[in-house]
Amino acid sequence: MTDQGASEPIGNNRIKLLTIGVVLSLLLNVVLLAAWVLFAVRIGEVSSAVDTVLEQAITNIGELQESSIEVTVDIDEAVDFAADFPIDQVFTIRLDAEFPIKDEFTTRVAVQGPFGVDIPFTVDVPIDIAVPIQTDVEIPVSEIIKVDTQIPLQMTVPIAIAIADSAIADFLQELEQSLIDLRATLNN
C-alpha cells in the first residue's frame, strides 16, 4: 500500500498543478477578451472620429472647388513705349468757295492822240469781283511719326480666379473622390 500512498500525493500534485494551469489559462483568456473588447470599442470610437473627419474634409473640398481666389493688385509703374507710326496716305480736300477780290490799282495807259502822239494817262482801276473755286485738292502725306515716351500707370486691378477654372481643379476633384472612396472602404 505504500506504493499506492506514494502515488497519491504525486497525483494530487499533478491535479493541483493542472487546476492551477487551467485557472491561469481561464484568467488569461478573460484578460485577453477584456482587452479585445476595449480594443474593439476604441476602434469603433476612432472609426467614428475618422468618418466625421473624412466627411468634413469632403465637404470642405467641395466648398473649395466652388470658391474663388480674390486678390487686388496695386500697379504703380512707368511703362516704356517706343513705336514708329508710318503714315502714307493721300488726303483729298474738296474746295467749294468764293474768294472775294476787292482792290484798286493804278496803271499808266498810253492813248494815241492826233498826229501819232501817245498821250499817257494814269488810271485807277477798281476790282470788285468774287472768284468761285470748285476743285478737289490732293495732299499726299508720307511721314513716320516716332513716339518714345514713358506712360505712367497707376491703377488698382481686382483679380478673381475661380478654383474650378484653375490648375488645381483636377487635383481637388481627384482628392475628393479618393476621400469618398476611403470613407466607403472604412465604413464597410
pLDDT confidence of residue 2: 47
Predicted pLDDT of residue 149? 93
Q: Which residue is listed with cell 466607403?
A: 184
In the predicted model, residues of the chain with pLDDT beneath 50 are 1-2
> What would the pLDDT profile of 117-132 be if each residue is shown by its tens digit?
888 888 888 988 998 9
Distance CA 182, CA 47 (A): 12
pLDDT of residue 114: 80
Instruction: Indicate the residue type of 124.
Output: D
| pLDDT on residue 147 | 92
Query: Residue 35: what pLDDT?
Result: 84
Residue 64's pLDDT is 87
**pLDDT of res. 5:** 52
